[in-house]
A and B are shown apart, each in its own frame.
Chain A
Amino acid sequence: MSTETASVIPALVVIVPTSAAVLIFILGKYAAGLREVLAVLGSAAALALSAAIVSATLRGEVLTSFNNQLYADSLSALLISLISGLGLIAMIYSLKYMRHQVQEGGLPHTTTSGRLTAFYGWIMLFIATMLWACLSNNIIMLYVAVEASTIASGLLVAFYWDKRSLEAGYKYLMLLTVGITFSLFGCVLVYASGANILGGSKGLLLSDLRTVAGSFPPTTVILASAFLIVGFGTKAGIAPFHPWLPDAHAEAPTPVSALLSGVMLKVALYALVRTVSLFYPTFAPVAMFALALGVFTLIIGDIMALAQDDLKRMLAYSSVSQIGYVLVGFGIGTQLGIYAGLFHLLNHALAKALLFLAAGAIIYSTGARKISELGGLAKKMPITSFCFFVGALAVSGIPPFNGFQSKLALFVAGAEAGDWYAVILGIAGSLVTMVVLLKAAKSVFWGQATPPASAPTVREAPLTVVVSMVILAILCLGIGIYPKAVYPPLKAASAVIQTIGSQGDSVARSQSSPKYRIARSR
């Protein structure tokens, strides 16, 4: 069905932001204004290229570069467009925001402009690595890219260089690297078994592995999938591997938090799906396990979010729970389930980025971040509060926002597949999410403020910040009202996920589907 055509676009998608980063590092010192321009242009170019890829994949093509080292099918297309889009928005947001933030502190031994250079350079690298991860077709390189995205974001997390952010940075790098190392072991196992059948280096290419994954020895399959789940799951913030997440997301500069929570978790999840789904037809229980893990994650995330007073930590924990939902979707494993999972992935990316940006705006203007300290901002910063509410309602799945669509699809899929416990817990969880977010929103925007948040100088955030938030808010609302807009790419992507394991053509799928029906019917 899908025709593989060698193309330069996937390569460009990775190369453009990378070169932008390099240029920023080199030129940032001399031309102060240039770095922002480069950053925005770079991410915009990336967005354009990914749009091209999306259109190509919608035509049923698969673009490859470097003789299949990079491999862009519709699943990759979905994610890279998401990454570059959010990247662009984050860049626009940063323009004023970071200029203000670097006054307070940042990486040592540098001037404020040096800090800005570092910030933009690293964040472009971060985006580039994530794009690379989503495009890589080489199982080892997939790991390398994911790990590289950790490295690239490491300094960003510790950017403010005070006690809290340093601690967060240490935990982030240490825990993530250890976790990811497990997945490297998983990849090694997959590669080793693949190489024994395919021979040579062909075993490294996912597109080749999928053809032989069915014939791996079962124990290897179990070991590999376990290690992959743990490894990429750590990066995706799946409980109980999530503790790094709230620290990092809360301490990083807001644009970075938005990217971390918005896309990086998704990239990890993508890597997880890419690799583990190889075994899905032969080892159906892995899906049920993913389902259970997802439910556990969403419960833990919600409970933790309940107990938070720090705005950004609260958002971070709710990201944990939302990742749980996405995982539930993939775990359900039916066509509808995977579709719902991807849909929620998209929605959560938008909504949670929106929430983080709004929280950043609040911090920007008030300098306070504790829910208990904030209050009464509805009058002072109306647009921000509007955006925050949109985000909150979207995440907690209230119509007419996008979150509602995806969660509805999710629960329907669960009900169809008979995973009632997941459905019930999921609904309960989304109620808790709503309580958490709306409680926070209420006390932040209507409640009583304490200094410094109560200072009369507090006013709406600058234009670029507001613009970026509004774009996201509109997207949330738009998708909520007219979901068909995003249906085709999601459909294609979910089809890809379903066929990763099977031999990739329709015949093989028809072979594999009865097997997996059996697996579903308990």
Chain B
Amino acid sequence: MTSEQLLFLAFGLLVVGAVITSLFHKDWRKTGYIATAFMGVASISLWILALRAFSQNIADIRPGLKLAVLGASLTFHIDKLSAIFLLVLPFVGLASMVYAIEYMGKVYAGQSPARYYPFALLLMGAIVGVVASSDLFFFIVFWELMTLTSWVLVWFDREDATKVRAAWVYFVMIHVATACMLAAGVVTYSLSGSWAFGDIAGALGRMGQTNPVLIHIVLALFLIGFTTKAGMFPFGGWLPEAHPAAPGPASAIFSGAMIKTGIYGVFRVFVEFLAPEYREVWGGIIAVLGTTSIFVGTLTALLQDDSKRVLSFHSIGQVGYMLLGIGTGIFFLNSSPVIAVVALIAGLFHVVNHACFKSLLFLNAAAAEYSTGTRDLNKVGGLGALMPLTMATAIIASLAIAGIPPLNGFASKWLIYQSSFQGGLTSPLFLLLVLAAFFSSIATLASFMKFLGAIFLGKLATAGKKVTGDVPASMQAPQIALAVACIVLGIIPLLPITLLYGAVRGSLGSMSVPGFANIFGANLSGISLHFGGVTAGVWNPAIATIGLLVCGLIAYAISKSGNAPSRETAPWYGGEEYTTDQVRYRAHGFVLPFKSAFVRIYPTVRLPRMNLQFLRKLFDFDGWLYNPLVKSGSRLTDRISRSHSGLPAMYMLWQLIGVVLVLVILFAWR
């Protein structure tokens, strides 16, 4: 089959699957199998497509859908960058579909599958469209489709008022972002007369000469549009609202696949289209914003007690890592291509890894909810004894997201640290960013220790009493698959890195990029980074893993050397044993000493209730015009005199402000 047919086949399958699944109203399981089948075939065709794309770019596929008025024509262009996403995202989608078969059937028994599967499938289709299309107009169309379908999934559970409100938050925030994106697109269109990506790059370039202010505005709009979807702080406020509201598998898709499209957009615009002279400033902005997102998201996650809220805030944090990598890359594209390439690869690599472990974590959380019916970390506990496989996958995922070697999270974080560190040698700002990122990764570890300890380990809580056994095989399979992915990507990082190198090189286009071996070393078993010829960092997962195994064996040998007898006993409570829940150590207390330090650094999203009162107020001139004027006039003297509060420090502050003002004015005046 030609790649063209493959692509259309995938779309067709997803759409047809949506139509068919929408016919079922009762049987979750059957619907699930059908949806999985469609998703599976679609994914396979997409994977073939992606693998072809790696051999050579799949040039413009034009279905002939045109909007002559707007000069927009539906065009697909699958280069290596899109191929990366086309490899990863359907994988996540498929996993969540398989997972949903049993899960949805049990948890949402009362509901109708016709309100879940069609939208899930369409969502996947939209995501594919977003990463595949090379025409901004249709890119935005797919984007909007993605938003709408995911929005339906968020308020899937209509009965719950809080979830409907979460959906409302999601809807508003995302559409504000989309509006920004659209505005930016319109500006570029008005300059280039076409929506095609290539022309947009040209338009941005020309804008640089003609109107340097406008280009910054346009870029800012693009950034807001993309990073809102990606869930970056401070635009990601919808994320902790929407993720917990959606059903488990859906949130896996959201965090594993959907928010990645935002990163994709950032990469496209700011790496491919951006003119060189703007790279430094915008790279810096993206990196700093990313780091802020890491810091705030992670530390806020530390304070959460709802398993899915924990994960959502960590999505905010992890997105920060990706943006830090990409931002650093953009920043150094001009000055030092090696650092830039490493950083860009690191960012994309983290996208891939995050897709694996975060969707896995959402599935784990869903599994716990599936068996106990609650998401409150303080209520569950000790499930590990009953669901060992789930716990194993959960541990792998947690260590991966915390960046513990030799798992995949470490590989990408390591690359990010290395590149930002090398960058920091020339511009120290990045050193601070590295430190913030590092600190946050320990905080991540802390919060996942809490996650594991609260859900799977420790004494069995009453909530877990009714749990019979581990989740069914159809829910195990995706978890295991994802866990394996985490391990494999961690142990042989060079495999994905080669692909990513191709992608980055492809999107850098004409720029001369150092050869692969000159950056990552010739030794294929491990990475040895070369910056300016000298080796500046090495990470050889193969040897490390073997070493770890060997050392573990040594430890095992030591422990067995005394061939000590062993005996089963009950835990010792320093006296009489109480019933479990009294002596359980709740998740809430785990980071208690830390909470005092960081309370509420994340602003909560508040949307105003719509009311028409203001119209009436508008015509009441006395109310808002005259009386205030009169009052303020009379009160002015008193106000000013009140400013002399008598506080010495206050007066000192005046002095300081005065100094600044005097300096500013005098300098402005000359």
Which A residues lie at the B interface, using CB under 8 A? 170-171, 174-175, 178-179, 182, 218, 222-223, 225-227, 229-230, 234, 240-241, 243-244, 246-247, 283, 285-286, 288-289, 300, 303-304, 306-307
Q: In the complex, identify which listed stretch (B186-194, B275-283, B469-477, B634-642) lies at the interface while the others stay far away.
A: B634-642
Question: Do residues A170 and B652 form an inter-chain contact, with CB atoms below 8 A?
Answer: no
Question: Do residues B641 and A307 form an inter-chain contact, with CB atoms below 8 A?
Answer: yes
The minimal Cβ–Cβ distance linking B296 to chain A, given in whole angstroms, is 36
The minimal Cβ–Cβ distance linking A231 to chain B, given in whole angstroms, is 9
Contacts of B666 in A (CB 8 A): 222, 225-226, 285-286, 289
Given A222-B670, A285-B669, A304-B644, 6 other A-B residues pairs in contact with their CB atoms under 8 A: A218-B670, A229-B662, A247-B646, A283-B670, A288-B669, A303-B640
Question: Do residues B648 and A170 form an inter-chain contact, with CB atoms below 8 A?
Answer: yes
The minimal Cβ–Cβ distance linking B649 to chain A, given in whole angstroms, is 10
0/1 interface trace, chain B 627-670, chain A, CB 8 Å (1 if under): 00000000011101100101010011011011100110111011
Contacts of A244 in B (CB 8 A): 651
The minimal Cβ–Cβ distance linking A230 to chain B, given in whole angstroms, is 5
The minimal Cβ–Cβ distance linking A372 to chain B, given in whole angstroms, is 16
The minimal Cβ–Cβ distance linking B355 to chain A, given in whole angstroms, is 54
Q: With A222-B670, A285-B670, A304-B641 as given contacts, are A175 and B662 in contact (CB-CB < 8 Å)?
A: no
Q: With A240-B657, A306-B637, A307-B638 as given contacts, are A171 and B662 in contact (CB-CB < 8 Å)?
A: no
Interface of A is mostly: helix
Question: Do residues B655 and A178 form an inter-chain contact, with CB atoms below 8 A?
Answer: yes
Question: Do residues A240 and B654 form an inter-chain contact, with CB atoms below 8 A?
Answer: yes
Which B residues lie at the A interface, using CB under 8 A? 636-638, 640-641, 644, 646, 648, 651-652, 654-655, 657-659, 662-663, 665-667, 669-670
Contacts of B663 in A (CB 8 A): 222-223, 226
The minimal Cβ–Cβ distance linking B645 to chain A, given in whole angstroms, is 9
Q: With A229-B662, A303-B637, A307-B641 as given contacts, are A175 and B655 in contact (CB-CB < 8 Å)?
A: yes
B642 to A, closest residue via Cβ:
A307
Question: Do residues B655 and A234 form an inter-chain contact, with CB atoms below 8 A?
Answer: yes
Q: With A171-B648, A226-B663 as given contacts, are A241 and B654 in contact (CB-CB < 8 Å)?
A: yes
Contacts of A304 in B (CB 8 A): 640-641, 644
A244 to B655, CA, bound (A): 11
A286 to B, closest residue via Cβ:
B666
Question: Do residues A243 and B640 form an inter-chain contact, with CB atoms below 8 A?
Answer: no
Question: Do residues B648 and A174 form an inter-chain contact, with CB atoms below 8 A?
Answer: yes
Contacts of B640 in A (CB 8 A): 300, 303-304, 307
Partner among A171, A218, A286, A300 whose Cβ is within 8 Å of the Cβ of B651: A171
A-B contact pairs, 24 of them (CB 8 A): A170-B648, A171-B648, A222-B666, A222-B670, A223-B663, A225-B666, A226-B662, A234-B655, A240-B655, A240-B657, A240-B658, A241-B654, A244-B651, A247-B646, A286-B666, A289-B666, A289-B669, A303-B637, A303-B641, A304-B641, A307-B637, A307-B638, A307-B640, A307-B641
A3 to B652, CA, bound (A): 44
B654 to A, closest residue via Cβ:
A240
Greatest chain B CB density within 10 A among A170, A218, A307 is at A307
A285 to B655, CA, bound (A): 22
Contacts of A306 in B (CB 8 A): 637, 641
A323 to B662, CA, bound (A): 18
Question: Do residues A243 and B670 form an inter-chain contact, with CB atoms below 8 A?
Answer: no
A178 to B653, CA, bound (A): 11
A234 to B666, CA, bound (A): 17
Q: Which 9 A-B pairs have the closest CB atoms?
A: A307-B641, A243-B651, A285-B669, A226-B662, A240-B654, A222-B666, A226-B663, A240-B658, A226-B666
Greatest chain B CB density within 10 A among A179, A230, A243, A286 is at A243
The minimal Cβ–Cβ distance linking B643 to chain A, given in whole angstroms, is 9
B644 to A, closest residue via Cβ:
A243
A222 to B, closest residue via Cβ:
B666
A171 to B655, CA, bound (A): 13
Contacts of A218 in B (CB 8 A): 670
The minimal Cβ–Cβ distance linking B385 to chain A, given in whole angstroms, is 67
Contacts of B665 in A (CB 8 A): 289
The minimal Cβ–Cβ distance linking B6 to chain A, given in whole angstroms, is 67
A87 to B646, CA, bound (A): 30
Contacts of B655 in A (CB 8 A): 175, 178-179, 230, 234, 240-241
Q: With A222-B667, A222-B670, A307-B641 as given contacts, are A178 and B658 in contact (CB-CB < 8 Å)?
A: no
Question: Do residues B659 and A182 form an inter-chain contact, with CB atoms below 8 A?
Answer: yes
Contacts of B657 in A (CB 8 A): 240
Q: With A283-B670, A289-B666, A307-B637 as given contacts, are A175 and B659 in contact (CB-CB < 8 Å)?
A: no
A264 to B166, CA, bound (A): 66
A229 to B661, CA, bound (A): 12
Contacts of A170 in B (CB 8 A): 648
A174 to B652, CA, bound (A): 9
Question: Do residues A226 and B659 form an inter-chain contact, with CB atoms below 8 A?
Answer: yes
A283 to B, closest residue via Cβ:
B670
Contacts of A285 in B (CB 8 A): 666, 669-670
B663 to A, closest residue via Cβ:
A226
B657 to A, closest residue via Cβ:
A240
Contacts of B646 in A (CB 8 A): 247
The minimal Cβ–Cβ distance linking B636 to chain A, given in whole angstroms, is 8
A289 to B657, CA, bound (A): 16
A252 to B658, CA, bound (A): 26
Contacts of A303 in B (CB 8 A): 636-637, 640-641
A229 to B, closest residue via Cβ:
B662
A247 to B648, CA, bound (A): 11
Partner among A175, A225, A288 whose Cβ is within 8 Å of the Cβ of B652: A175
Contacts of A226 in B (CB 8 A): 659, 662-663, 666
Q: With A229-B662, A240-B657, A307-B638 as given contacts, are A175 and B670 in contact (CB-CB < 8 Å)?
A: no
The minimal Cβ–Cβ distance linking A278 to chain B, given in whole angstroms, is 15
Contacts of B652 in A (CB 8 A): 174-175, 178
A241 to B657, CA, bound (A): 10
Question: Do residues B648 and A175 form an inter-chain contact, with CB atoms below 8 A?
Answer: yes
The minimal Cβ–Cβ distance linking B499 to chain A, given in whole angstroms, is 54
A238 to B, closest residue via Cβ:
B658
Contacts of B669 in A (CB 8 A): 285, 288-289
Q: With A179-B655, A222-B667 as given contacts, are A230 and B662 in contact (CB-CB < 8 Å)?
A: yes
Contacts of B667 in A (CB 8 A): 222
The minimal Cβ–Cβ distance linking A236 to chain B, given in whole angstroms, is 13
A116 to B216, CA, bound (A): 71
A244 to B652, CA, bound (A): 10
A304 to B643, CA, bound (A): 10
A306 to B639, CA, bound (A): 12
A308 to B, closest residue via Cβ:
B641
B659 to A, closest residue via Cβ:
A230
A304 to B652, CA, bound (A): 19
A285 to B, closest residue via Cβ:
B669
A179 to B, closest residue via Cβ:
B655
A219 to B, closest residue via Cβ:
B667
A285 to B662, CA, bound (A): 12
B661 to A, closest residue via Cβ:
A240
Greatest chain A CB density within 10 A among B651, B652, B663 is at B651
Contacts of A241 in B (CB 8 A): 654-655, 658
The minimal Cβ–Cβ distance linking B659 to chain A, given in whole angstroms, is 5
A243 to B, closest residue via Cβ:
B651
A234 to B651, CA, bound (A): 11
A197 to B534, CA, bound (A): 50
Contacts of A179 in B (CB 8 A): 655
B636 to A, closest residue via Cβ:
A303
Contacts of A240 in B (CB 8 A): 654-655, 657-658
A304 to B658, CA, bound (A): 18
The minimal Cβ–Cβ distance linking B642 to chain A, given in whole angstroms, is 9
A346 to B433, CA, bound (A): 61
Contacts of B654 in A (CB 8 A): 240-241, 243
A166 to B665, CA, bound (A): 36
A178 to B652, CA, bound (A): 8
The minimal Cβ–Cβ distance linking B39 to chain A, given in whole angstroms, is 67
The minimal Cβ–Cβ distance linking B345 to chain A, given in whole angstroms, is 45
The minimal Cβ–Cβ distance linking B409 to chain A, given in whole angstroms, is 51
A517 to B667, CA, bound (A): 21
